[in-house]
Homo-oligomer: A and B are copies of this chain.
Amino acid sequence: MRTTSRDIRTANRYRVLRQAIADSPASRPRLAEATGLSPATVATLVGELLDQRMLVDAGFEDSGGGRPRGLLAVNPEGGALIGVDVAETYVHVEVVDLTLRTLARAHEELYPRDHAPAALVRRIGGAVRAATAGAATRGPLLGAGISMPGMVDREGGVSVYAANWGWHDVPLLDLLSGEVPSPLYLDNPMRACLVAELWFGAASGHEDAVVVNLGTGVGAGLALGGALHRGASNSAGEWGHTQLVLDGRPCHCGRHGCVESYVGAPGIMRTLREIDAGSPLLSEEDQTATVDRLARAHGAGDPVAARVFAETGGYLGAALADLVNLLDPEVIILTGWVARALGTPLLDEARAAVARHALSRPLESTEIVLSPIRVNPVSLGAATFALEGALASVGRGRR
């Protein structure tokens, strides 16, 4: 796809509102300085955002002698956004305002009986209604974003493939259209985490960022040159299925030695089993419990847990070093429930291993951090798809 002047205007609108959110209230000269856009461009874009009531005037600041400068704030009443994280075992909904304050939320467990498309769509609709019924209405509903596991065709609104549910080419947006307020945006959790980091997290203000998601599955979201890199078939970022060990552990994708089979939760459990097959930390049926116990045991000085952290951090660091050497990003952000549970001790082991494996020049220019986002980042990112959609349609009339 070619970049059109409309895409560029939309991308610049993103930059201005992102900066206004990070820096609210801010003057026009401050927004121009921070985004690198010209004062004239910023004036035009701010004008549009004021017209949309996404920004509001917020007083004046002294400019040191000259005329006082007008300040702009993000308008909490400028609109509400719905973000839905559909995972294999739950639906999580956040309703947020433009300052990303949560207005309401809902969380419902999913069971095997919910896994057929029609049943799942009803459960999603129910969760969204449960959340919006509780939300204090503040301004217009700008849209809803839905993150789905597996492979997603965001343009066509189709769930191309969800392995654990046996889904193929399910026209999800069509099915959802009666259940969830529109406009509706569909994408996968990796992309949701990435836009959440770009707008509200550790990628904010960076042009080249990689968000690495560590959970049961493992993947990477790539923001290069300030924009999401989606790839020729919208499936870029399968870092979890790049190779860490030639002819290594079998991976559920059918190949061997993938990164995921070492640093995803089942891979970490396998490492634990290899170190101590009878470990009391191990709960074969419960990944979350095992990972939580590992974290607590490590904090208490348990030597088996220490070895699991050292080995997992070593694998993770070797795999992150490949991202550093190939992409030379400004920042790599670790997110996902495994990264949250294992936290700084895993990060420290990984950083040490990256330093052993990466070339010195890209290593010096790349920071590796844990995600600073505290709410569910997938729901937040899904809500951000709706915000981006609303910004893309500014000037085209409301959809």
Residues of A at under 8 Å CB distance from B? 1-5, 8, 11, 15, 35-38, 41, 151, 160-161, 207-208, 220, 222, 224-227, 229-239, 241-246, 248, 253, 255, 318, 321-322, 325-330, 356-357, 359, 361-362, 364-366
Contact = CB atoms under 8 A, between A and B. Distances in A.
A223 to B, nearest CB: 11
A321 B220 CA distance: 16
Nearest to A228: B225
The 8 closest A-B pairs by CB, nearest first: A231-B328, A2-B36, A233-B365, A232-B365, A236-B328, A242-B322, A238-B325, A232-B330
Contacts of A235: 328, 359, 361-362, 365
Contacts of A233: 328, 361-362, 364-365
30 contacts: A1-B36, A1-B207, A2-B36, A3-B8, A3-B11, A3-B225, A208-B231, A222-B327, A225-B225, A231-B328, A231-B365, A232-B328, A232-B329, A232-B362, A232-B365, A233-B328, A235-B359, A235-B365, A236-B326, A236-B328, A238-B325, A239-B325, A242-B322, A242-B326, A243-B318, A243-B321, A243-B322, A243-B357, A246-B318, A255-B356
Number of copies: 2
Nearest to A262: B246
Contacts of A226: 2-3
A85 to B, nearest CB: 23
